Amino acid sequence: MPRIGRGSSYVNVFFVCGAPKSGTTWLQRVLDAHPEVCCSGEGHFISRFSIPAAKVVNDYNVALSVEARQVYEGRPYYDGVDQAEFDEIVRAFVLRRLGARADGQTRWIGDKTPSYTRYLGVLHRLFPAAKIIHIVRDPRDVAVSSMGHNRRAGFAEAFEPGADQNRQVIAQAVKLWLEAVTAVDAFARSHPSLVHEVIYRDLHANPIGEAERLFGFLGAPTDRVLMAQIAAATSFEALSGRPPGDEDPSSFLRKGVVGDWKARLDAEAAAHISESCGEWMERKRFAA
């Protein structure tokens, strides 16, 4: 795994991803609760840094080429920036940002950005041994969480069954969920040892056991007392101050339950999601 030197200790790099409203923030907090793991968010290192920076570098290369022809008779003092040099620049930036919160105990360091599902190939090129942690939630609950998120942002009709806005939110949630699970599946088939999948339902039902699997995948200590402490510190009640099921529509941590779709989705919406995502729902064991 890529390592950042910090005196006599080192930290290993990982990235956390998943469809929006799948529990990536909760997973980030679980990871960050381990004394030897630092997981920040959301760096958006590819979409907001690497891709825009690539345009700058391409423009720079074009300008160098023009000057080489017009001033230096095709023999410039500087060659253009190639892919390897550009990757080195991006890699240094990402490592510096990842290390910003690390302390002397930190051995594993990562960033949670849901949209990394779109850029797994780029991340792998930059960090060939970096591990990928992917969280998957029932797409019907993802849709309901997306509805709540949009309502909190001021779009009241997002939570009204049958309303145009409600249908748009659900359609977008389904699209992003399918894109995420198919992209990670394709990457995992090529790099099975680098990918760990967390099922939201399982993390909710067995937080200690899932934490043990999660940190075991990274190679971090997994003693039972520590896992229990992390599970307690990152429970819905500890994070929100409310018991699961006590809904606060204005909070990012809205309700903290599994299967809320049964009470929130109308039959047409539930059927649409099951039809669109049925094959992948079966693979992930999301019962109807």
Q: Which of 3-7, 226-230, 247-251 has the highest mean pLDDT?
A: 226-230
Asked whether the predicted pLDDT for residue 211 surpasses 90, the reply is: yes
- pTM of this structure: 0.92
Q: Is the dihedral of CA 249, 251, 252, 256 positive or negative?
A: negative
Give the pLDDT band (50/70/90) at residue 6.
Answer: very low
**Domains of the chain and CATH, by start:** 3-283 (3.40.50.300)
Chain segment 139-197, per-residue pLDDT in tens: 999 999 999 999 988 988 888 888 999 999 999 999 999 999 999 999 999 999 999 99
Shortest CA distance to 236 belongs to which of 263, 250, 255, 215? 255
